Structure 1
Amino acid sequence: MKKKVISIMVFVLLAMGGVASIAEGIAKKSDIPQPEMEGEKFHAVEASAQFKEPYIIEEEDYAVVVIDGMKSHRSAEYPMLPYTTKVMTFPLGTKIESIEVKTSEIKIIQLSKKIKPAPEPISLNMENAKVEIKEGSIYESNEPYPSDWITYNIGVGIENGKHVVFLSIHAFPCRYIPASNELLYTNEMEIKVSYTPPEKPLLQNDVYDLVIIAPSQYSDALQPLVEHKENHGIKTKLVTTDEVYGSVYFPSQGRDDAERIKYFIKNAIEEWGIKYVLLAGGLSSPIKSTTWLVPVRYSRLAHGDEKFTLCDLYFADIYKYEDGNITFDDWDSNGNGIIAEWSGVNKDILDLHPDVYVGRLACRTMKEVNTVVEKIIKYENECDPSWFKRVVLAGGDTFNDISGNNFLEGEIANQKVAEYLDDFEAEKIWWSEGKVNQKNMVEALGKGCGFVHLSGHGSPGVWFVKDYIQNPHGKYIWALDVYHIPLLQNGDKLPIVVIGGCHNSMFNTSLYASTTDVIKTIIIKYILGKPYLSYYWIPIPECQGWWFVKQSGGGAIATFGCTGYGLGTVGDSDRDGIPDCIQYLLTWLELRFFKLYAEDGIDVLGETWGNAISDYANTFDCNKNSGDRKTVEDWVLLGDPSLKIGGYS
């Protein structure tokens, strides 16, 4: 994103007009705009919006600004203000020249209380939720916040198999001057975008659809998968890591193995036209290992005690928009050699839109490779509606709300999934009905189903809910651990499992690492009585998200989950009548996956992942808010990105 090279012109609107409208909430992405010529130089596209009158709700210490039908922009320590999003897509190579904004009459409301600042995100871990509301330095400012009526981001990504430029515009009908406690607002807005299209289409090659990157020892075991994909019209190429590093297909370049893989993917997009990348390899051992069969990238975005997190999005985000050009995104925008950094002033600006659909099979042994290959082939060939059209929903009271809204966040999220999958038979395992336990979970999943949504808390080896009635600090309910996954006995009736919680898909764990940490917890926390925060509750060789997939005779066909802390929200802080838990952060991303499948008709697994990530990056400010950036960086697909959801039968 380069805001300095694009002018934003703001005028008071005298006569409204326009060819498109800005929807409240995220708008459906526009088609490639039909241009109108502006002289002989630029093309232009316009959008207009009308906003309802804002009203003020006064709380004990603060005021909340509400516009019906709009949610609020949340950036911790900044005032919460209503906003709406318009996303425009342009052909790859388009240059955005200028953005012009016209408003109707600007009105002023003198407030009696300061506008409420947005709270910090809350981790979905085992600690008690603490809602922190702080005023940042912006509250001393004499200037309007935001600084303009719109903010915007320009990204580069893939949508419906086409490489595009995204222009996401956030329109704020209200702006706040903290020092004078005044609210400025407008009821109408017109936006005009001037742009130069590319001289010719880019990235038009079509040699392969899918590249599988794996260590050489897995080549023979993966060959049946290659043949299976080819039989279903997916042009597939298996490439070993040795071939990548040895410049067999393209010149090898990059500062380390992870960047060499990323440059290879870039070349494969440009020369072969690939859409999917399957990274087939994890750590070299489940016992004790730090050696990767297929490399990983760690994000340097710290959260609490967590300093690094695994981030496979790195391998999908190949390009960025810079000074009107499409360039390689090395995730080191400040050039200091630290990749994906978020530390004070040293913050890398990232594109975060996938340019290829990436999934990982984190196989550590040949047995795991053989198992997952067999599962994928059987699923795509034999998946049957008799069991696929079921969904298992498990959740409870994720946080003990302190806002007066006793929302059962996990169950609310589950219910939203049920509404999206309204033609599925839904089995609900809810804390409010006394059903959450491992026995019920094993029985429900053992019947077979198309989807599972777990919305609660987590660790690498266990998924939990909490009971705040028996204990105001939250009694842990052990809902499902990795050692119960072999008991599922669902055979070939394999679901896609979406796990809401912390660290459930932390696929760099090992038996040594987890056992060592459990021993430290026992000694430091329970014997010495000192504070100690651990990710682990039990010794495990591999994480829950991967265990589901690698389990023979049952388990799952793929999982979505967090490699680090998952983040959530409580209450209804923006007072729009909708629980915040389904409007922001991890649960928003999870629900986006279900919406893309159920309402938008996207039935290829990696495309649901990629579109959900891009939609999130377009809707929220991932380069301003660490919680939003962490949400997309941590969310990993452990599975085949080219998987046909529901199979080909």
Structure 2
Amino acid sequence: MNTKIVGILIAAVFVTSAFATFAGNTPGYDRVETAPGGQASATTYTVRQTFEQPVVFSAQGYAVVQMAGTRSDLRSGYPTLPYTRETLTFPLGTAITDVEVSVSGVHILSLPGKISPAPQPVPLNGEPASYIVEEGPVYTSHQPYPREWVQWHTGAGIRDGQRVTLVTVHVYPARYLPDSNQLEYVDSAEVVVTYQPPEQPLLQADAYDLLIVTADAFRSDVEPLVEHKESYGMRTLLATTSEVYAASDGRDQAEKLKYYIRDSIEDYGIKYVLLVGGLTSLISGQEWHVPVRYVYNGEGSEPRYLSDLYFADIYNADGSFASWDTNDDGVYGGWAFGLGKDLIDGYPDVYVGRLACRNTKEVQAVVEKIMEYESGTDPSWFKRVTLVGGDTFNDISAHNYLEGEVATQKTAEYLEDFDPVKLWWSEGNLQLSKVMDALNQGSGFVHFSGHGSPGMWMGKDFTDDPHGEYILGMEVYHMSFLKNDGKYPVWVIGGCHNSMFNATLMDSTLGCIKSLTGTPTWYWMPIPECFGWWPVKVPHGGAIATLGCTGLGYGTIGDSDGDGIPDCIQYLLGYLETRFFELYGQEGVDVLGDMWGTAISDYNDLFPPMQDKIDLKTVQEWVLLGDPSLKIGGYSS
């Protein structure tokens, strides 16, 4: 039985066109819009929920708690508890002044053991993986966990095509009492959100849809793409980096670009931003045709990584500029010892993609592919999905899921109208030659789920070696031999560092040398460009766009909440990847940037960006190397 909404009480006095909507994992929410008129004043929403009794059972020496209509909170080291999630949307700039909760029907239940702590995320770095469960400080606390029945966070983002202020409320119908090893649960909860709408709408412009920013040297090669976009009704604005830097203030070029994007939203109403330009050299250096932002949400092995989400997250919940440097120390996205913790909204306010072109030859090739693709695709090849995966982790101590196959199978289920081509370890066909053959046939989508590096993607075989034997799926130097001319898929690449588009021949060669001394490195072979960008830039073959990680990606092992669904598709990178395909296959979202941005926003609703470093990194590093305004399948098929 699902959680039921037994009442929604609204007391409101709004400015004209002020609104609030509900969305969440609980059925029964409808959009609620107030009548216009009046003066802006404090407004409240009251939401009541009722819950069924919890089900408790023992597993692996711990108590597992489940409640119908909820999902589980899997924060590493914290008790795995059920919660419901509801997201409310308001006009951008709305001030959320208070969120209060009252509960009724409080019960106490003795537990057969401590509540199971959530396991640690597992890096997709190819190292031996273990199902590690450690009890955090909560287990020795004298306070209930969580201390409040409700937790909430705010942001600014896009919902139903509108830029809005978001309030996501997590209601916990059960709390853990570690002192007495008991569960405190309730029959119902009432949440009251008090907010102040803005006196005037912050954004009203609607002159352009797409902003393309490119290097001056690439302008003439990009102009045909502008004409193409305009011919399909995509109102397009083109700016060069010199124009951007002259028009905007900022501490560096990246911040000037971000301010320019903000101004283009406010002056023109743009929804998509295409950045055309990567590094200026294949050999070495860190000079960029179009600037990038390194963020420092780091750890010992990887103190920084690239994040194009920086250019998409323009506003905070109150409508102010999202600097990603809230302590003004010149370090962006800092969350590490000695750097403090920059407060990051994390929700895209514009959909951003990058063509990481390093020269005019690459620009010309990619522009030609985009124009060809959007002019129409043939269902005879487009209605295929190529699925490449195997056993990502040796998790015999858990459920021994074949994580790569679980994830790609979920993709096949979401793309139910597509013919799946499964290249799986369990099928015996996870082989380089088979992958090349399948890609040469053409398909609408490709989903790799496994391990990676900047130069290659791999699966694993644990049959004879508990550490796993690598199975090469593809490396960058194979991509020039792809023969799928005119049959370009969107690739989603599950693995570490596959989309690290700052790779150079010098850095990768030095990385390989360092690896011989035992120094941590992500490079396993010398490469001039990364795995995620290479198939996009290669002419007459490869991919139309890719999505992947610029840094170390993370996955999960087992089924820690006992709901019968492998954790590898419910959390971290596996959630993002499968949610991306769900948006297209089940919800009809057919523009590439909308799929990328909505998947990230939905992830943030479930896993608040400022609550966990790994959750924040998961959305920061997931980059779209392609045109965010791309019409999936083209405009005429």
The interval holding the TM-score normalised by the smaller chain is over 0.9
Q: Aligned residue for 1:142?
A: 142
Q: CA deviation at 1:38?
A: 12
Deviation at 1:112, TM superposition (A): 3.9
Query: Are the aligned partners of 1:18 and 1:190 in contact in 2 as well (CA < 8 Å)?
Result: no
Say which SS state the counterpart of residue 442 (structure 1) adopts. Answer: helix
Cα offset, 1:169, TM superposition: 0.7
Alignment of 1:249-260 (within 5 A): 252-260=248-256
User: Which amino acid counterpart does residue 625 of structure 1 have in structure 2?
Assistant: D
Please name the residue that 1:327 is paired with.
320
> With structure 2 as the length reference, what TM-score do the two structures score?
0.94
Give the 5 Å matches for 1:389-428: 389-428=383-422
Partner SS, residue 486 of structure 1: helix
Give a deviation string over 1:290-315, Cα, whole Å, max 9, x none.
11111111110113401101000000
Mapped contact 1:29–1:88 kept (Cα < 8 A): no
The match for 2:278 among 275, 282, 291 is 282
Aligned equivalents of 2:356 and 2:40: distance in 1?
Answer: 53
Give 1:339-378 correspondences, 5 Å limit.
Answer: 339-344=332-337, 346-378=340-372
SS of equivalent residue, structure 2 residue 145: coil
- 1:356, distance to aligned residue in structure 2 (A): 0.6
The aligned residue for residue 184 of structure 1 is 184
Confirm whether residue 564 of structure 1 aligns to residue 558 of structure 2: no
Do residues 307 (structure 1) and 303 (structure 2) align? yes
- Using the alignment, how far apart are the partners of 1:625 and 1:27 within structure 2? 28
Tell me the alpha carbon deviations over residues 522-555 of structure 1, each in whole angstroms, 9 at most, x when there is no partner. Answer: 3x1xxxxxx4332111111100110010011100
Q: Which amino acid aligns with 1:273?
A: G
Q: Secondary structure at the match of 2:316?
A: strand
404 and 206 in structure 1: CA distance in 2 versus 1, 3 angstrom threshold: closer
Shift in Å, 1:175: 0.8
Query: Which one-letter code corresponds to 1:329 in the other structure?
Result: A
Alignment of 1:533-544 (within 5 A): 533-544=520-531
Structure 2 SS opposite 1:169: strand
Q: Identity rate of aligned residues, in percent?
A: 52
Deviation of residue 473 (structure 1)? 1.2
Give the counterpart of 1:261 among 257, 262, 281.
257
Q: Distance in 1 between matches of 2:389 and 2:34?
A: 46
Find the counterpart in structure 2 of residue 514 from structure 1: 508
Task: Provide the C-alpha distance between the structure 1 equivalents of 2:186 and 2:36, rounded to a whole number of angstroms.
Answer: 27
Shift of 1:46: 3.2
Question: 1:576 and 1:38 mapped to 2: Cα distance?
Answer: 48
1:106 match: secondary structure: strand
Displacement of 1:45 after TM fit?
Answer: 2.8
Question: What code does the residue aligned with 1:231 have?
Answer: S
Question: Is 1:437 equivalent to 2:431 in the alignment?
Answer: yes
> Residues 203, 548 of structure 1: CA spacing in aligned structure 2 closer, same or farther, 3 A cutoff?
same
Which residue is 2:244 aligned to?
244
Superposed displacement of residue 470, structure 1: 2.3
For residue 18 of structure 1, the aligned residue among 8, 25, 42 is 8
CA contact (8 A) 2:83 2:170 kept: yes
Residues 558 and 565 of structure 1: CA distance in aligned 2, closer, same or farther (over 3 Å)? same
CA contact (8 A) 2:23 2:88 kept: no
CA distance in 1, matches of 2:143, 2:182: 10
Count matched residues.
621
Gaps of 5+ in 1: 1-14, 525-530
Q: How does 1:462-541 map to 2 (within 5 A)?
A: 462-522=456-516, 524=517, 531-541=518-528
Q: Work out the CA distance in 2 between the residues paired with 1:509 and 1:319.
A: 30
Q: Kindly tell me: are residues 143 and 445 of structure 1, through their superposed partners in 2, closer, same or farther at Cα, counting changes over 3 Å?
A: same
Code of the residue aligned with 2:475 in structure 1: it is D
Query: Structure 1 residue 235: deviation in Å?
Result: 1.1
> How far is the alpha carbon of 1:16 from its aligned partner?
6.0
Q: Indicate the larger mover: 339-348 or 116-125.
A: 339-348
* More off after superposition, 441-450 vs 206-215: 206-215
2:157 counterpart SS class: strand
Q: Contact between 1:455 and 1:501, CA under 8 Å: does it hold in 2?
A: yes
- CA deviations on 1:338-390 (whole Å, 9 max, x unpaired) are 21011148111110011111000000011000000000000000322221111
Go from structure 1 to structure 2 and tell me whether the alpha carbon gap of 1:495 and 1:39 turns closer, same or farther (over 3 Å shift).
Answer: closer
Q: 2:452 aligns with which of 440, 458, 481?
A: 458
Kept after mapping to 1: 8 A contact 2:40/2:198: no
Counterpart-to-counterpart distance in 2, 1:30 and 1:619: 20
Q: Map 1:109-124 onto structure 2 (within 5 A).
A: 109-124=109-124
How far apart are the structure 2 equivalents of 1:366 and 1:58?
61
Matched, 1:384 2:371: no
Distance in 2 of aligned mates of 1:30 and 1:295 = 42
CA distance in 2, matches of 1:577, 1:60: 15
Distance 2:131 2:23 in 1: 31
Q: 1:25 to 1:472 in 2, by over 3 A?
A: farther
Cα distance in 1, alignment partners of residues 141 and 61 from structure 2? 19
Work out whether residues 503 and 535 of structure 1, in 8 Å CA contact, stay in contact via their aligned partners in 2. yes
Aligned residue type for 2:303: K
1:581 maps onto 2:568 in alignment = yes
Shift of 1:24: 7.5
Q: Which residue of 2 aligns with 1:6?
A: none
1:88-123 CA-to-partner distances (Å, cap 9, x unmatched) read 111212222332323221111122422222121111
State the alpha-carbon separation in 2 of the partners of residues 26 and 630 from structure 1.
Answer: 27
Structure 2: how far apart are the matches of 1:29 and 1:263?
Answer: 36
Shift of 1:52: 2.3
Matched, 1:102 2:102: yes
C-alpha contact 1:33 1:90 (8 A) present in aligned 2: no
Deviations 1:435-454 (A, max 9, x none): 00110000001001100011
Q: After superposition, what is the alpha-carbon deviation per residue over 1:141-184, rounded to whole angstroms, capped at 9, x for unaligned?
A: 11111121110111101223311111111111111122222211
Contact 1:277 1:356 in 2 (8 A): yes
Indicate how the Cα distance of structure 1 residues 35 and 499 shifts in structure 2: closer, same or farther if over 3 A, else same: farther
Structure 1 ranges of 4+ moved more than 6 A: 19-24, 26-29, 35-40
Q: Structure 1 residues 103, 39: closer, same or farther in 2, change over 3 A?
A: farther
1:189 and 1:613, CA in 2 relative to 1: closer, same or farther beyond 3 A?
same
For the 8 Å contact 1:29–1:89, the answer to whether it is kept is no
Work out whether 1:158 is the aligned partner of 2:158: yes
- Residue equivalent to 1:639: 626
- The CA deviation string for residues 317-336 of structure 1, in whole angstroms up to 9 with x for no partner, is 01102xxx321010112333
The residue type equivalent to 1:461 in the other structure is: G
| 2:266 maps to amino acid | E
1:239/1:406 Cα in 2 relative to 1: closer, same or farther (>3 Å)? Answer: same
Equivalent in 515, 519, 540 of residue 553 of structure 1 = 540
Question: Structure 2 CA distance, aligned partners of 1:96 and 1:28?
Answer: 24
Q: Which residue of 1 aligns with 2:172?
A: 172
Report if aligned partners of 2:387, 2:448 keep a CA contact under 8 Å in 1.
Answer: yes
Q: Is the Cα contact below 8 Å between 1:70 and 1:576 reproduced in 2? A: no
Q: Write the distance in 1 (CA, Å) between the matches of 2:38 and 2:360.
A: 61
Instruction: Give the secondary-structure state (helix, strand or coil) at the position aligned to 1:519.
Output: helix
The alpha-carbon deviation at position 140 of structure 1 amounts to: 1.8
Q: Distance in 2 between matches of 1:34 and 1:198?
A: 15
Q: Which amino acid aligns with 1:192?
A: V
Task: Give the unaligned 5+ runs of structure 2.
Answer: 11-20
Counterparts of 2:463 and 2:23 in 1: how far apart (Å)?
Answer: 41
Partner of 1:7: none
Q: Distance in 2 between matches of 1:273 and 1:149?
A: 39
Alpha-carbon distance in structure 2 between the residues aligned to 1:39 and 1:609: 38
Is the 1:278–1:360 Cα contact (8 Å) retained in structure 2? yes
Aligned-residue CA RMSD in angstroms? 2.1
C-alpha separation in 2, matches of 1:135 and 1:448: 48
- Cα displacement (A) at 1:138: 1.9
Q: Scaled by the length of structure 1, what TM-score is found?
A: 0.92
Deviations 1:465-520 (A, max 9, x none): 10011212111001111111122200010000000000000000011111111122
